[in-house]
Amino acid sequence: MTPNDDPGWPHGPSMFVFLIPGAVPWYLSRRGTGDGLLVLRQVFISFPVALVLIGTALAPIRLQGGSLVPWLPILIALAIVSLVGERVIEKPLDCATDATLAGTYRTRFFLRIAFADALALYGFCFAFIGAPKWIYYAAAGMTLVRLWTGVAPTRSALARDQDILNRSGCGRTLVAALRTAAPPPSRRDQRSSA
């Protein structure tokens, strides 16, 4: 398998390692630098799974469900603001080097996750301050759709980004850049080397 080949998605227990507190540094040190795209996909999987786990934990809690107004219109307005804000803040991928290409992709990836997850967090808060409990599930559903259609590093999403890079004159391969460019060192690594 060459760096230009897509490694696919993680499978088995390694897919859920990012859900275990404290396991990430151990896992990454055990694997070495590893495949950056595979690690990015593992990180991605932790976000939809976390939303489902939060919904599972919320289910047995008795809450004082209130009226939909004003919560549902506020949630819809926040969804629109989130979509527009993401597009305004987002910068194009930088093709100067493989490292900058991978770095700008990761920055955009986490920015999109932040904007998408904010909606579910608002829904969670609304459920506790007066909205019906199901507003979290509606917000989490909208978030899951956004995560899988606009954030997930799927083959088709990477191919769309590669087409945009090719049209802009970039001769680099996004998949190869993501697989080979090491992520920046963690704060723990920086402190231990000082």
Which pTM value belongs to this model? 0.84
- Residue-by-residue DSSP string for 69-138: TTHHHHHHHHHHHHHHHHHHH--PPP-SSHHHHHHHHHHHHHHHHHHHHHHHHHHHHHHHHTS-THHHHH
Distance CA 191, CA 189 (A): 5
Compare 120 and 186 and report the one with higher pLDDT. Answer: 120
Residue type, 156: S
Q: What is the mean predicted confidence (pLDDT) over 12-26?
A: 73
**Domain segments of the chain: what residues?**
12-181
What six digits make up the tokens of 157? 């999403």
pLDDT per position as a tens digit, 24-63: 667 666 665 578 898 899 889 989 999 999 999 999 999 8
Residue type, 60: P
